[in-house]
């Protein structure tokens, strides 16, 4: 009989899955279809916190557009890959103001952000809330660390059944939760955010990804 996949927390699961995560980069990008980054506006000199940053799929393009990015994740192995990629890029950057000086990695939890109030211009969370049972605490923390007038940009994948991931220690499933799009907006509004965009990326008639821009 085939062995059942083990269901693991994000921290344990992504530490095991880090090595294979980037194989899916094009697939993940297809959920955003180029829609997310233009919604962030001008990035030059902006302080951005990328929560659940993973291997830097979003953090690195933000840095290359001039943002100073803090990449936070619960999985140190995922963040190690950001550091490796940064080293590769900064070797090809001749300007003193290198990519390395613009990105900081922090191991931490989205629900208890280790930053002062009013620190960031933008908080991003791409494919993070699928791993939070209830995103309220994270949204509240994001509000606290945003400067007045700053924006939170969240993507919400339409995924009812989490995929099985093959790792060198066998098949795993990373604990995931489905969030109804109207509920995401309702929670954000209840925390005093103003909703500026609520975009649905579609495949045919089915939405695959919700992207919300919420202003403090």
Is 211 a binding residue for ligand SAM by CB under 6 A? The answer is no
Is 57 a binding residue for ligand SAM by CB under 6 A? The answer is yes
Q: Which residue has 């980069």 as its token pair?
A: 25
Tell me the C-alpha distance between 180 and 185, whole Å. Answer: 9
Tell me the C-alpha distance between 143 and 146, whole Å. Answer: 5
Site for ligand SAM in 5-44 (CB under 6 A): 10, 14, 28
Nearest to 33 by CA among 212, 193, 210, 215: 210
Q: Which two tokens stand for residue 65?
A: 């557009």
Query: In the set 109, 200, 207, 215, which binds ligand SAM (CB under 6 A)?
Result: 109
Query: In the set 102, 103, 121, 127, which binds ligand SAM (CB under 6 A)?
Result: 127
Tell me the C-alpha distance between 89 and 106, whole Å. Answer: 19
Query: How many Cβ atoms sit within 10 Å of the Cβ of residue 15?
Result: 18
Tell me the C-alpha distance between 36 and 126, whole Å. Answer: 9
Is 110 a binding residue for ligand SAM by CB under 6 A? The answer is yes
Is 150 a binding residue for ligand SAM by CB under 6 A? The answer is no
Tell me the C-alpha distance between 75 and 117, whole Å. Answer: 24
| Nearer Cβ to ligand SAM (99/110) | 110
Stretch that binds ligand SAM, among 39-47, 51-59, 180-188, 191-199 (CB under 6 A): 51-59
Is 71 a binding residue for ligand SAM by CB under 6 A? The answer is no
Q: Which residue is nearest to ligand SAM (CB)?
A: 54
By CB under 6 A, name the binding residues for ligand SAM.
10, 14, 28, 52-54, 57-58, 73-75, 78, 109-111, 126-128, 131
């Amino acid at each position: 009989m085939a062995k059942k996949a083990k269901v693991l927390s994000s921290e344990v699961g992504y530490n095991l899955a880090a090595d294979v995560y980037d194989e899916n980069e094009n697939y993940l990008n297809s959920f955003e279809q180029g829609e997310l980054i233009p919604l962030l506006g001008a990035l030059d000199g902006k302080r951005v916190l990328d929560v659940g940053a993973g291997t830097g799929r979003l953090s690195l393009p933000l840095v290359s557009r001039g943002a100073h990015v803090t990449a936070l994740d619960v999985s140190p192995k995922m963040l190690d890959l950001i550091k490796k990629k940064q080293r590769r890029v900064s070797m090809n950057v001749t300007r003193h103001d290198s990519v390395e000086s613009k990105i900081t990695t922090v191991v931490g939890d989205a629900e208890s952000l280790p930053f002062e109030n009013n620190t960031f211009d933008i908080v991003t969370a791409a494919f993070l809330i699928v791993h939070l049972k209830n995103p309220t605490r994270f949204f509240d923390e994001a509000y606290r660390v945003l400067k007045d007038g700053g924006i939170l940009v969240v993507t919400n994948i339409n995924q009812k059944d989490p995929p099985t991931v093959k790792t060198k220690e066998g098949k795993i499933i990373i604990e995931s939760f489905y969030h109804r799009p109207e509920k995401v907006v309702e929670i954000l509004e209840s925390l005093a955010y103003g909703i500026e965009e609520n975009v649905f990326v579609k495949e045919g008639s089915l939405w695959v990804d919700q992207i919300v821009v919420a202003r403090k």
